[in-house]
Amino acid sequence: MNADPFSLEGKRVLVTGASSGIGRQVAISCAEMGATMVVTGRNAERLGQTLSLLEGVGHVSVVADLRKVDDIGRIVDSAGELNGLVHCAGVTAVVPFRVIGEKHLDEILETNFRAPVILTQRLLAGRHLMNGGSIVFIASSAAHIGTPFTSMYSASKSALITAARALALEVAAKQRIRVNCLSPGYTRTPMLDGLNEGASIEGNFALAPLGIGEPEDLANAVIFFLSDASRWITRATLHIDGGLTARVSY
Ligand SMILES: NC(=O)c1ccc[n+]([C@@H]2O[C@H](COP(=O)([O-])OP(=O)(O)OC[C@H]3O[C@@H](n4cnc5c(N)ncnc54)[C@H](OP(=O)(O)O)[C@@H]3O)[C@@H](O)[C@H]2O)c1
């Protein structure tokens, strides 16, 4: 084991959603900790900016839409031998249950659930994830609460957590691959700005005793789950929410 248990030196890590918010910070922080990154996102310009911010050499970027199976194939083709996989890509929207349409349902479920499932399945089937590797899914506090007006978002993240828990049991013994989830509370990113415009939820941010989170807070937790420091932890979901859900029973 490395002298620094949190080091990512010598590890190759794929991050989705790396063109914005939490995913971008995860990519930057992992590279700072010594990882070689494969970063992916839809927006070429913003993904290029992320790539330019990564410390070290050998990083790769793939512009891809995770709702398109062919694009997922291109990500898998560029993946190489991975030690870590971080699913950050996700979408949300404020939609009351009574007006949910198929378009909304498809967009949320395809992006937040179907895409990470298919990408993980393809990487495992192609033996791109090395033994001893670590998979991290970014879920949400909403998965545990069932937040009003984002019911399908909440449901997509609950589904992700359950699938991750099952996967953890399938890949632990032989491959020693670990599978964990993070459930963030309100975190300062473009997604939160969009949500706040739609529903004016600013008042909710104060519900967390420690206030709003920063992308760095999530990136530090991701580093822990990718590193050897967490080598005996699998099938866990870490609530990283400034205490938002501390008083919620679920
Ligand atoms: N911010 C919060 O308060 C919060 C709280 C709980 C959980 N989360 C979760 O944290 C994760 C990151 O969110 P964020 O706040 O960083 O949001 P963000 O700034 O809006 O970033 C979302 C990322 O997902 C990517 N993405 C969306 N649809 C995609 C698709 N079809 N194909 C490929 N990439 C796609 C975006 O790519 P492009 O921009 O290139 O299109 C972007 O890189 C999400 O899973 C979100 O649900 C966020």
pLDDT digits (tens, 9 = 90+) for 143-168: 999 999 999 999 999 999 999 999 99
Ligand 1 mutation pick, 63, 86, 103, 189, max ligand atoms within 8 A of CB = 189
Pocket test for ligand 1, best of 42, 46, 63, 218 (most atoms within 8 A of CB): 42
Look at residue 228 and tell me if it is in a domain. yes
Q: pLDDT, tens digit, for every residue of 76-130?
A: 999 999 999 999 999 999 999 999 999 999 999 999 999 999 999 999 999 999 9
- Does some domain include residue 248? no
| Residue ranges around ligand 1 (CB below 6 Å) | 17, 19-23, 41-43, 46, 65-67, 88-92, 111, 138, 140, 184, 186-187, 189-192
Q: Quick one: which atom of ligand 1 is closest to the CA of 194?
A: 20
CATH number for the domain harbouring residue 169:
3.40.50.720
Establish if 104 belongs to a structural domain: yes
How much is the average pLDDT of 2-12? 94
Could you give the strand order of the β-sheet that contains 60-63, starting from the edge strand earlier in sequence?
60-63, 36-41, 12-15, 82-87, 129-138, 178-184, 237-240
Q: Whose CA is nearest to atom 46 of ligand 1?
A: 90
- pLDDT exceeds 70 at position 1: no
pLDDT of residue 200: 75
The 3-class SS string of 9-55 reads CCCEEEECCCCCHHHHHHHHHHHHCCCEEEEEECCHHHHHHHHHCCC
Amino acid letter for position 218: L
**Which of 15, 16, 22, 158 most suits a substitution to test ligand 1, by most atoms within 8 Å of the C-beta?**
22
With 0-12 / 13-18 / 19 or more C-beta atoms within 10 angstroms meaning exposed / middle / buried, residue 224 is middle
Ligand 1 mean position to 1 CA, how many Å?
A: 33
Q: What total number of domains does the chain contain?
A: 1
**Residue 209 belongs to some domain of the structure:** no
Domain, as residue range, for 133? 12-186+214-236
Say if residues 61 and 39 touch (Cβ distance below 8 Å): yes
Q: How far apart are the first and last CA of the chain?
A: 37
C-alpha 174 to ligand 1 mean position (Å): 32
Q: Judge whether 103 lies within some domain.
A: yes
For residues 165 and 188, the answer to whether their CB atoms sit within 8 Å is: no
241 part of a folded domain: no
Whether residue 7 lies inside any domain: the answer is: no
State how far the Cα of 118 lies from the Cα of 135, in Å rounded to an integer: 14
Confirm if 218 and 189 have CB atoms less than 8 A apart. no
Q: Kindly report the pTM of this predicted structure.
A: 0.97
Q: Is 250 a catalytic residue?
A: no
Per the domain annotation, does 178 fall within a domain?
yes
pLDDT (mean) for 173-184: 97
**148: its two tokens:** 């009003």
Choice among 153, 181, 195, 238 that is catalytic? 153
Q: Is the pLDDT of residue 196 over 90?
A: no
Supply the pLDDT for residue 250: 62
Please give the average per-residue pLDDT across 66-82, as a whole number. Answer: 98
Q: What is the pLDDT of residue 194?
A: 85
